[in-house]
Amino acid sequence: MTVRPIVRYPDPRLALPAQPVTAFDGALRELATDMLETMHAAPGIGITAPHIGVSLRVVVLDLDPVDGARTYVNPEIIWASPEMIMHQEGSVSMPGVNDDIERHARLRISYRDIDGHARTEESQGLRAVCHQHEIDQLNGMFWIRRLSRLKRERLIKRFEKLSRDGAAN
């Protein structure tokens, strides 16, 4: 178990689509464990492999102390509700700033578990927001691209100031 360095915005790797996982092996398990450790150290509630510089379609979420952390390999949205919700989002790659993003209220995703078994999951609220946020990241869409240009520019300026002042390190 290793806490890995987090790729920071505006690193161009955050804008690249991640590659599908094809090998469900010990290396994938180690990656998922490292992602969980890195996410907890950040701290955060969700992380993708690209956040630690690995271009693979792997997501780890830890939203519920009862259910514990979940790993999603090659996740895809297969249905989204027409109802939308606003939720405050941020990123381990851009600590210290967040903003409200509009997302689908409910989703169904397909994915593989850590052993390669096909799964589907329905989610709503925070989990649905996290699924959309992290799948966007796997597709090379950093969350701030969902903001208006003006909001995005203000947020980037705030992050740059925090980084200069040492608060986002």
Is residue 21 scored above 90 in pLDDT?
yes
Query: Residue 147 above 80 pLDDT?
Result: yes
Residues 106 and 7: their CA atoms lie apart, in Å, by 29
- pLDDT score, position 166: 80
Q: What is the pTM of this model?
A: 0.96
Neighbours of 31 (CB within 10 A): 22
121 is catalytic: no
Average pLDDT, the chain: 96
37, 102, 134, 160: the catalytic one is: 134
Q: What are the tens digits of pLDDT across the range 111-121? A: 999 999 999 99
Find all residues with CB under 8 Å of 159, minimum gap 6, and list them.
9, 94, 96, 97, 168
* Closest CA relative to residue 61, chosen from 75, 72, 73: 72
Q: Is pLDDT above 90 for 144?
A: yes
State the pLDDT at residue 5.
Answer: 97
pLDDT beyond 70 at 167:
no
Residues with Cβ within 8 Å of 147's Cβ and at least 6 positions away in sequence, in order, are: 99, 101, 155
Looking at the predicted structure, is the pLDDT value of residue 168 above 60? no
Angle 157-136-168 from CA coordinates, rounded to 5°: 35
Task: List, for residues 69-79, the tens digit of each pLDDT value.
Answer: 999 999 999 99
